[in-house]
Chain A
């Protein structure tokens, strides 16, 4: 009833849907950077949406399971092999005790998810199994996984062959456009500054992490400086500091901050931001709150039809 790590990869962590209610004490929600890929991995193996799975960054782990389980790998295009044989991604398959499963380096995208039927059963901290690395909280001992770590698994209720429909599988090699609602401090930017954000694409820089995506591109001009009276920072907040460059704040963000936020990336596009590799570019487009809510509704409904279940023989 456990998972044994033979090689961990640069940053593999346990994540569930995140920690709710602790932001008011400065503890971020954490949870998967790409929520859609994470949810689909869980659903493929028959888990509840909030079961814990592994998030792998750029290179995945090598591991084995102590008993037979269904496994699914989604997100970044890390080649999956089972005892050396190539396996499909975005699909559920069975893994037997003693099999070695391995994820290679990402050909595209940044973060991949590995869900195991039954879920990872590490002890919850403040109601969640998500790892908050900077706060050494949750997950497996509050840290990224290492060689020889043993993770407990929850009871598995079996599984069935299933795959994500082709049209729901993102192509991370394509340029991404993400949608932004202006505010809360768009009034602190010049018209030219706001136009700059939406005109040309921005490049992802290697300084990006689970706290924020640091981007480089056209300077976003302020009207009167970048300091504000510190306020809460929403998921996706696009913070612009003195150098005029945007930072999109993510799952492990600071709960509050003293810098202007020109806009906020919509929740349903956060996953796409988190799959953009350093050097790749992404563009922003503007939507209203009402449009964003309509898009969210469509997005959630779409996810519910993303998986094709094969009939069991």
Chain B
């Protein structure tokens, strides 16, 4: 379990390959994925057109008429040797306000019952944890995170719901995510943030990035409404990353 001794390079058609660095979800493997991506960006690897990090692998898009399979494998392997977490710039910590009340946290009661703790205790345990963003994907801006205490781990919904409101803060298994656009979902919705994880009107439409730390701050319904209104007006200035 953990980090492979050598990376696995898997073909993904004629224009992409996947570099797989480990066999499970852990921060150490993921930090190496992000470090490999960072080094590719820094060095401007010839022929690489785009990269997509995920838990334990990096999808690398390339132009085979500029760089061949063997040459690309070799240069990725060389970068992999250097790809240690220390090469990454210092991580951001982003504060995400979250309201766990009423219809905004419409599955909190049911989740608490399944977990076997009072609802306010589940909300408090969820809000007190430090979360790490492994990567952002599936839909625009959706962060894949872990960090909850084991006491509130919960199996995913048996029957995924068809529509989840954007901003829904949700848990399933060991993971926590925030839905970024209205989409189907298999995680339990504990609360909602008034922030926009994805804002197509903005020049910088994505709130969270791979490698970020997230802290939830518990807010009341009236605070939620006030922030939501400010976000809608464009007067909610801080997507404030705070220093760790």
Chain A contact residues, CB within 8 Å of chain B: 20-21, 23-27, 125-126, 134-137, 142, 181-185, 229-237, 254-257, 261, 263-268, 289-290, 292-293, 295-297, 300
Contact = CB atoms under 8 A, between A and B. Distances in A.
A229 B1 CA distance: 14
Interface string B121-137: 00000000000000111
Nearest to A179: B14
Contacts of A27: 140, 205-206
24 contacts: A20-B49, A21-B50, A23-B137, A26-B138, A26-B141, A134-B181, A137-B200, A182-B11, A184-B12, A229-B54, A229-B56, A230-B137, A230-B138, A230-B144, A232-B52, A234-B15, A235-B16, A264-B11, A267-B13, A267-B14, A268-B14, A293-B68, A295-B14, A296-B14
Nearest to B65: A297
B55 interface: yes
A181 B54 contact: no
A126 B142 CA distance: 18
Nearest to B198: A135
Contact of A266 (B13, B18, B61, B140): B13
Contact of A254 (B24, B58, B138, B210): B138
A234 B200 contact: no
Contacts of B118: none
| Shortest Cβ-Cβ A-B pairs, 3 listed | A232-B59, A264-B13, A256-B137
B139 interface: yes
Interface string B196-224: 00101000011001100000000000000
A230 B55 CA distance: 7
B160 interface: no
B18 A232 contact: yes
Interface in B185-244: 198, 200, 205-206, 209-210
Contact of B61 (A234, A261, A292): A234
B53 interface: yes
Given A26-B180, A126-B205, A181 B139 contact: no
Nearest to B15: A267
Contacts of B37: 24
Nearest to A21: B50
Given A136-B200, A184-B11, A289 B69 contact: yes
Interface of B: 10-16, 18, 20, 24-25, 37, 49-59, 61, 64-65, 68-69, 135-142, 144, 180-181, 198, 200, 205-206, 209-210
B54 A256 contact: yes
Contacts of B61: 23, 234
Given A25-B206, A26-B140, A183 B59 contact: no
Contacts of B51: 24
Nearest to B64: A293
Contacts of A292: 13-14
A74 B210 CA distance: 40
Contacts of B64: 293, 296
Nearest to A126: B205
Contact of B57 (A136, A183, A231, A264): A231
A125 B200 contact: yes
B54, B142, B144, B209: most-surrounded residue (chain A CB, <10 A): B54
Contacts, number: 148
Given A232-B18, A232-B58, 13 more contacts: A181-B12, A229-B25, A231-B20, A234-B15, A256-B52, A256-B137, A257-B138, A261-B12, A265-B13, A266-B14, A292-B14, A296-B64, A296-B65
Given A229-B55, A230-B144, A256-B54, A183 B11 contact: yes
A24 B52 contact: yes
B13 A256 contact: no
Nearest to B13: A264
A21 B206 CA distance: 13
A26 B137 contact: yes
A293 B72 CA distance: 13
Given A24-B136, A231-B18, A236 B144 contact: no
Contacts of B13: 181, 234-237, 263-267, 292
Contacts of A134: 139, 181
A261 B59 CA distance: 13
A52 B32 CA distance: 38
A182, A184, A185, A292: most-surrounded residue (chain B CB, <10 A): A184
Contact of A25 (B10, B24, B65, B209): B209
B12 A234 contact: yes
B59 A234 contact: yes
Contacts of A183: 10-12
Contacts of B136: 24-26
Contacts of B139: 26, 134-135, 254
Contacts of B141: 25-26
Nearest to A254: B138
A27 B58 CA distance: 16
B12, B18, B209: most-surrounded residue (chain A CB, <10 A): B12
